Structure 1
Amino acid sequence: MQESHAVKKTMMIRTCRWSVGLHILSVILSSLHGCSARDTITMKSSIVDGQTLVSAENSFELGFFGPSRSSNVKRYVGIWYTSNPQTIVWVANRATPLSDKSGVLKIADGCLKLSDKKGKVYWYKERQYKRLNIMAKLNDTGNLILYDVDGLKRKLWQSFEHPTDTFLFGMKNDENLVLTSWTSEDDPAPGNFTFKQDPQANRLVVMNRSITCWRSWRESGKMFELVKSLTIKEDDTQVQKNERIVMNFTGELQYWKFDWGMKDWSLRWWEPKDRCSRYNYCGNFGSCNINSTLPCKCLPGFKPKISEKWNAGKFEDGCSRTSTSYGTDLLSLKRMKLEYPETSYIINNEEACREECLKTSQCQAYTVNASNTDRQLSCLTWTEELKSIQEDQDDGYDLYVRVPVSDIAPTLRSCLTCGTNFVPYPLSTGPNYGDPVYYSFDCDMDTGQLSFMTPSGNYTVTHVDPTASIFDIEMQAKEPVNCHAMHSLGSKILQLNRSSPFNVTSSCSSNFTNDSPLKSTIEVKITWKPPLEPTCNSSADCKEWPHSTCNITGTGQKRSL
């Protein structure tokens, strides 16, 4: 009995010790949780490397971090998503990292200050408030705010007014907003690219130092609407914390949204989304086609300013008019987009816009847009060079460019242009144009699309080079091919007969080497043979070919001989 009583007593003591131990552990954990979950820094508190502030609803966290792939010990103070610490949305000392883990963020000398163990200051809130009782708080929008505690929490400073590379819900989209990219994926130092608003033109812009990389289409476009929607009132209860816009170090302005199903960030939108989206990629009067391997071409009636650079794939110098006269003829282009002029005005009908352009000596082009709200017609006229031209756009519009007809159809037998495609003699889009032997082309006047007609079907023409007697067509391949196989593939699919004046060439576009794999949509180059003498019905048809008359050849055809 005594032995049994001793055992029970021992068990009771152990149970009591476990209970006391668990209680102490619970208190410690609770205390630690309370410390780690605080969201403020007061004049009597601070955080050191290894400690963090956490917003009230556990959405954002502020603390010290170091780029994961960096070999050097660099420490920064930043704000990130609590659920995803790798997603940094703000950095305090991005240009002045600490070299060790002795950093402390505190309120001292009337301002928020970051220093090391030796007292060296790496970052501080510029203005000092020595006579105020101030406090820094991290709220649930990711905004770090410096308050005057005794002044009804009057805001003295906030990180939302000093962003780094990320735009979050609640920030103001005004002329003061500037996002600056990181230098690289692992270096938060200010990089080359900035995003801001151009208040004069009411556009969003991305700059590479002093060079414009991208501009929004005035008050329109997906990115413009996204930035506008992210700007909310502070008391809005429907704050979305799972979306952000980032000025990436690659030069892309990116819109990210958190995918709760995948539990990861998803890139939903970005600009520039392709080379044609880059600002004025093909230069003034140069048209960009994203579906073409050779993206740039001069508008009909224009020529490269510097042929050598243009032929080498350097398009920034753009194009200039073939002749100095604007003329009174109008080149009609479909599904076009370009940078808007600064002014527009309401008109009653399209003819009024045409007349306004033709009577203005410096008018280069015009278009008419119908308002979606009040159905009014707006006339837009360009008196400066046409920039950032993109063709074959679903949301494009009809553009009318002043070009003398003699610059786009130099002979009576020349085809008229088809969209942005110049169709040189002897190529033919109809019985009254070009040489009948070369009547293998069709122009869709509604879209401005030129097609090459073959026994196997019609193929989109993406580029015509009259000087080299070559044009490019777009073909679909079931699987990627290389330039070496392109010649046999093209000849087999097109089914051109031996008498055809057209031949598939084995040369590739300048964008590819002979062994580089091509995507399933490829461009095949086709040459045309020099034509015979022009056909005619009478000697009057031969006036453009001096010293010739209309005679019957051995084949029975009449030609200018």
Structure 2
Amino acid sequence: MICKSHAIYCLHLLCSLLLLMCSCLHYCAARDTITAGNPINSTSSETLISDGKRFELRFLNISGQSSSRYVGIQYYTWRPPEIVWIFNRDNPLPDSATGFFGIINGNLTLWDESRISYFSISLGSSRSTAKLLDSGNLVVRDDQSGKSLWESFNHPTDTFLPGMNMNANLKLTSWKGPDDPTSGNFTFQQEEEVENGYIILKRGTIYWKSRETGSFNSYNNLYDPVAVFLNSSNSIQSNAGTILNSPNKTTFVPVRNYNNARLLMNSYGQVQYFIWRDSKTGSSGWSLKRSGPRDRCSVYNACGNFGSCNINKNNWGLCKCLPGFQPSSQAAGWDPAVPSGCTRMSRICAGHKEVFLNLTMMKVGKPDTPLSEVQNETRCRKECLDNCQCQAYSYNEANNTRTDGPRHGCWIWTSDLSDLQEVYATDGYNISVRVVASSIGILPFLLQNKLKLSCLLVFLA
């Protein structure tokens, strides 16, 4: 009788322990969804973890921002756990407050114990569920129809992930600093006028271009696999790879696995392309494959109008004014980090003797429409001289060193020369810049030739 009672007691105890374990497992198990009235909060260790344990949504304390707290998504198991998205980057939650992130009154909201809202998105549905996917996308769907109401992939911060589509409405905005997720100075986005072209804007002004196209000059600063990664809508997919179509060129890009890739618009103004590398030796991590601008001279119009950039110089000698020009800013010295550009020492078309300074192998901004009826350089030069707005010309018959073959025609610039770079590989152009002879000092220029450009001067009566 005692043994029987003891057995029953043991059975009850075992059942109680099993129930307790099940309850604990249910409570402690990571979830990937938020339903109305069931938020996560900043005082618990609970987070959202995607089903395949690739990404995690949680309250974040960012180094350097000890008094602020953010709701963000980061890689879950990969170390370091790079942050890929932040909900309230411009309105952080004070660290002293208890924060709640969830769905309330039909809104995806971050609020505190005093019901103060720090960021809110209207969902247009009273019954909805937010789910963190293995792609890193937080998707909110209507509970009845299953329709997507809102997705974090359509509202990125500084990171582009596989599965996103870099369309005209998508922008990556840098952090303000390495430890400050506030919206920064740099934005990466499509360039509307150039197919498969992208730009970086610095406070709304062009800072870098991935591509320049046209019948005069063209270049591509974007790694072709990155172009495929960003947007496959202008490409043809196959089992072997991708055919990427762009003006005047078709490129075949071998098949690649983009599942472990990401693109970052960093706070220093560089867009960076990373690949995750797994290693059995324990040295797994993010490998930087490409970045742009790749150097100081790759910044768009790095030295300002009529200023020439030479990457072979040290940082304080990158920028030089063309002969006959002087820095627009009269401040002592010329800080290439804040290029002011250059202005003419003497005005052209004012009755002074003029010459053309021939510059070889230059990168230069777009000229005007070509004068197709001009058949030789002498005539091209005269077309420039007859126009008081003409700043320079290029007769392209001499440009036979280009990798894409010579392009004939007469081109003139009636606006200031921009985006000038010296010693531009083998794809540079020869241009002739119009200057007043007395402003360059012919003999000193020939002796010093500081710009290391071709010194051929054509005198005009």
Normalising to structure 2: TM-score of the pair? 0.72
Match of 1:229, SS state, is helix
Is residue 335 of structure 1 aligned with residue 361 of structure 2? yes
Give the 3-state SS of the residue equivalent to 2:331 in structure 1. helix
Matched, 1:282 2:298: no
How far apart in 1 are the matches of 2:417 and 2:138? Answer: 45
Distance 1:224 1:233, change over 3 A: closer
Matches within 5 A, 1:320-469: 320=344, 322=346, 324-325=348-349, 331-341=357-367, 351=375, 355=379, 358-359=382-383, 361=387, 362-363=389-390, 364-366=392-394, 368=396, 377=407, 381-394=412-425, 396-403=427-434, 406=437, 414=443, 422-424=445-447
Task: Tell whether the 8 Å contact from 2:380 to 2:393 is kept in structure 1 after alignment.
Answer: no
Change over 3 Å in CA distance of 1:44–1:280 after alignment to 2: same
Per-residue deviation, 1:392: 1.4
Q: Taking structure 1 as reference, are residues 340 and 82 closer, same or farther at Cα in structure 2, changes over 3 Å only?
A: farther
Contact 1:145-1:159 within 8 A present in 2 as well: yes
Give the 3-state SS of the residue equivalent to 1:76 in structure 2: strand
Q: Residues 428-481 of structure 1: CA distance to partner in whole angstroms, max 9, x if unpaired?
A: 9xxxxxxxxxxxx9x9xxx9589xxxxxxxxxxxxxxxxxxxxxxxxxxxxxxx
Displacement after TM superposition at 1:303 (Å): 1.7
For 1:356 and 1:24, the matched residues in 2 are separated by 91
Match of 1:168 among 161, 165, 173: 161
CA shift at 1:30, angstroms?
A: 5.0
- My pick for the range that moved more, 358-367 or 255-264, is 358-367
Q: Structure 1 counterpart of 2:147, which letter?
A: R
Question: Which 10-residue stretch deviates more, 377-386 or 51-60?
Answer: 377-386
The reply on whether 1:303 has 2:331 as its aligned counterpart is: no
- Provide the secondary structure at the position in 2 that maps to 1:423: helix
Superposed displacement of residue 388, structure 1: 1.8
**Cα distance change on mapping 1:376 and 1:389 into 2, 3 Å:** closer
What is the aligned partner in structure 2 of residue 87 from structure 1?
82
Q: 1:307 to 1:61 in 2, by over 3 A?
A: closer
Q: Aligned-pair distance for 1:366?
A: 3.1
Residue 142 of structure 2 aligns with an amino acid whose one-letter code is D
Q: Structure 2 vs 1, CA of residues 158 and 304 (structure 1 numbering), >3 Å: closer, same or farther?
A: same
Greater RCO structure (CA 8 Å; 6+ sep): 2
The equivalent position to 2:53 in structure 1, one of 51, 54, 58, is 58
| Alpha-carbon distance, 1:18 to partner | 11
Match of 2:32 in 1: 39
Kindly indicate whether residue 101 of structure 2 is the aligned counterpart of residue 102 of structure 1. no
User: Which residue does 2:246 correspond to in 1?
Assistant: none
What's the CA shift for 1:69?
Answer: 4.1
Name the structure 2 match of 1:118. 114
Matched ranges for 1:411-560 at <5 A: 414=443, 422-424=445-447
- SS of aligned partner of 1:160: helix
Give RMSD over aligned pairs. Answer: 4.4
Answering whether residue 264 of structure 2 is matched by residue 246 of structure 1, we say yes
- The 8 Å contact of residues 97 and 113 in structure 2, kept in 1 or not, is answered as no
Matches of 2:144 and 2:51 in 1, distance apart?
A: 21
In our comparison, the structure showing a higher alpha carbon Rg is: 1
Post-superposition offset of 1:304: 0.4
Looking at structure 1, the residues matched to 25 and 393 of structure 2 have their Cα atoms a distance apart, in angstroms, of 72
Q: Distance in 2 between matches of 1:30 and 1:395?
A: 66
Aligned pair in 2 of structure 1 residues 174, 400: CA closer, same or farther (>3 Å)?
A: same
1:143 corresponds, among 119, 137, 145, to: 137
Aligned with 1:228: secondary structure? helix
Which sits farther off after the overlay, 93-102 or 237-246? 237-246
Aligned to 1:231: 230
Counterpart position of 1:263: 284
SS in 1 for 2:446: coil
Query: Residues of 1 paired with 2:286 and 2:119: CA distance?
Result: 30
**Does structure 2 conserve the Cα–Cα contact (< 8 Å) formed by 1:170 and 1:231?**
no
Closer, same or farther: CA 180–232 of 1 in aligned 2, 3 Å = closer
1:71-112 per-position Cα deviation (integer Å, ceiling 9, x unaligned): 32x221111111236311110011222224632222222221
Distance 2:372 2:163 in 1: 39
- Determine helix, strand or coil for the equivalent of 2:26: helix
TM-score by length of 1: 0.60
Q: Which residue of 2 aligns with 1:476?
A: none
Letter in 1 for 2:99: G
Q: Which residue matches 1:129?
A: 125
> Is the contact made by 2:109 and 2:119 (CA closer than 8 Å) also made in structure 1?
yes
1:516 corresponds to: none
Deviation at 1:330, TM superposition (A): 5.1
**In the alignment, is the contact (CA less than 8 A) between 1:170 and 1:232 conserved in 2?**
no
Deviation for aligned residue 1:385 = 1.0
Q: Distance in 2 between matches of 1:107 and 1:205?
A: 36
